């Protein structure tokens, strides 16, 4: 659908003149049906001894484990399974110990974002003498990492094509990230066939995560035409493909579009050249996950519409109006604010259609730890530099509105 500019003040917001950026994702990306077949060729130059990291067993139900056995017959594979969602730092330490003791050459992660994230941290922790949580608290302590190959089986995080990983510490009630260039996988394999078995619940959570990644990059003080255009295109694809994949998990077209959208949504491309991105919903969701082990995308589905309503103003409405008109094929409207509000309502309707939770109460979350969560958010994130600066009280208000 053709997008109409509703306002004349949009030009102030679209400015590439004052920005510089450097972009070189070192990850080789293999996308499409049977792209898994490239695995031996990818691994060959990296070594023989492989740590295979996976989760609670989905790889044994979606056909990929059998395929791996066939493809890795010439490699010496040490298995490291049972990585849980919101991966714990204890798993990272355990994985790194195996790599150190058994002289592992490379790590192969096969699974969702939690598996890939855990594997990234294992790669770095292998070269760190101490508790891997130190690396989380101070990312500059990452000095070297084993090569990582990521085979992603869930369209959500985009972890296969970025250099971040989210890690939890149940002892301290924290969930934080390591973000370091050494954590880019050497190669990423995105074979949509292996996402067929993703449950409706995780498919929906994935849609919410992809959309949130886009909106986090979109919610900035200053953007540019290309960044906003990429955001609109990828979010639109996530909406269409996400609904179709939710309705029919074995729809290849839907699964492949969703997977490509998830890869593109979180590798910083959609936000290139913009001003500071605060990632406010992710900050708050990580705070919730630290206490309640929330499913990442579900937490975001609850927080995102509330956050958008909280920050929406006459000033930023034109950009939202334009974005949502494209993403949700909304009819032409003349009032930017009303159009933006209609877009947020369309987002809520989408989440409702995907049976995502609407409130924290549905996840049995109460206000008990809101103060602690807000403190954590303000300590480790920079919400004061976002599109609309947020302080501690704003975080608590958003959480309360989400109850």
List interacting residues with ligand NZQ (CB under 6 A).
55-58, 62, 85-86, 111-115, 117, 153-154, 156-159, 162, 164-166, 194-195, 197-198, 202, 206, 209, 266, 282, 296-297
Interface with Zn ion, residue 298, by CB under 5 A = no
Q: Is 327 helix (H, G, I), strand (E, B) or coil?
A: helix
For residues 172 to 211, the per-residue mask of contacts with Zn ion, x marking binding by CB under 5 A and - elsewhere, is -------------------------------------x--
Q: Which of residues 19-48 bind Zn ion (CB under 5 A)?
A: none
Give the residue from 208, 111, 97 showing the smallest Cα distance to 159. Answer: 111
The CA distance from 258 to 264, in Å, is 10
Q: Which is nearer to Zn ion, 164 or 318 (CB)?
A: 164
- Least separation in angstroms between CB 94 and Zn ion: 25
Please tell me the count of residues contacting Zn ion according to CB under 5 A. Answer: 1
Q: How far is the CB of 339 from ligand NZQ (least distance, A)?
A: 28
344: its two tokens: 């947020």
Chain centroid to Cα 177, Å, comes to: 12
- Residue 198 interacts with, from Zn ion, ligand NZQ, none (CB under 5-8 Å by kind): ligand NZQ
Nearer to ligand NZQ, 212 or 224 (CB): 212
- How far is the C-alpha of 52 from the C-alpha of 322, rounded, in Å? 44
Q: Which does 115 bind (CB under 5 to 8 A by kind): ligand NZQ, Zn ion, none?
A: ligand NZQ
Tell me how far, at minimum, the Cβ of 53 lies from Zn ion, in Å: 20
Residues for the chain: how many in total? Answer: 403
**Strand, coil or helix: 11:** helix
Q: Which two tokens stand for residue 179?
A: 């973000």
Cβ-contact 387, 316 below 8 angstroms:
yes
Shortest CA distance to 327 belongs to which of 230, 239, 260, 251?
A: 239
Q: Give the other-Cβ count within 10 Å of 261's Cβ.
A: 27
Least Å from the CB of residue 217 to Zn ion: 11
158 or 386: CB nearest ligand NZQ: 158
User: For 109, which DSSP code?
Assistant: E
Interacting residue ranges for Zn ion, rule: CB under 5 A? 209
């Amino acid at each position: 659908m053709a997008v109409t500019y509703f306002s004349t003040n949009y030009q102030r917001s679209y400015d590439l003149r004052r920005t510089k950026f450097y972009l070189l994702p070192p990850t080789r990306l293999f996308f499409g049906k049977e792209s898994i077949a490239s695995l031996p060729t990818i691994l060959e130059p990296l070594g023989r001894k492989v740590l295979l990291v996976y989760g609670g067993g989905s790889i044994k139900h979606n056909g990929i484990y059998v395929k791996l056995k066939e493809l890795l017959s010439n490699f010496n594979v040490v298995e490291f399974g049972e990585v849980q969602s919101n991966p714990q730092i204890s798993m990272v330490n355990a994985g790194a110990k195996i790599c150190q003791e058994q002289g592992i050459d490379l790590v192969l992660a096969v699974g969702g974002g939690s598996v890939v994230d855990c594997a990234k941290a294992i790669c770095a922790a292998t070269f760190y003498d101490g508790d891997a949580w130190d690396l989380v608290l101070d990312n500059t302590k990452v000095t070297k990492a084993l090569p990582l190959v990521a085979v992603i089986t869930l369209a959500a995080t985009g972890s296969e094509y970025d250099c971040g990983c989210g890690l939890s510490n149940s002892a301290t009630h924290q969930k934080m990230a390591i973000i370091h260039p050494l954590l880019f996988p050497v190669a990423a394999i995105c074979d949509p066939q292996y996402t067929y078995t993703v449950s409706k619940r995780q498919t929906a959570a994935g849609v919410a995560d992809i959309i949130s990644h886009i909106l986090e990059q979109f919610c900035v003080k200053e953007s540019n035409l290309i960044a906003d255009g990429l955001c609109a295109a990828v979010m639109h694809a996530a909406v269409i493909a996400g609904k179709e994949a939710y309705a029919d998990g074995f729809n290849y077209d839907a699964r492949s579009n969703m997977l490509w959208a998830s890869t593109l949504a979180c590798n910083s491309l959609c936000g290139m050249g913009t001003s500071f991105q605060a990632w406010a919903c992710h900050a708050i969701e990580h705070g919730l996950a630290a206490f309640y082990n929330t499913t990442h995308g579900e937490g975001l589905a609850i927080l995102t519409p509330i956050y958008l309503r909280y920050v929406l103003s006459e000033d930023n409405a034109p950009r939202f109006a334009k974005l949502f008109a494209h993403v949700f094929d909304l009819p032409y409207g003349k009032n930017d604010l009303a159009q933006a509000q209609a877009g947020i309502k369309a987002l809520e309707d989408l989440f409702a259609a995907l049976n995502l939770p609407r409130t924290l109460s549905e996840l049995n979350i109460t206000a008990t730890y809101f103060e602690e969560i807000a403190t954590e958010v303000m300590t480790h994130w920079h919400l004061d530099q976002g599109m609309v600066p947020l302080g501690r009280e704003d975080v608590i208000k958003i959480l309360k509105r989400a109850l």
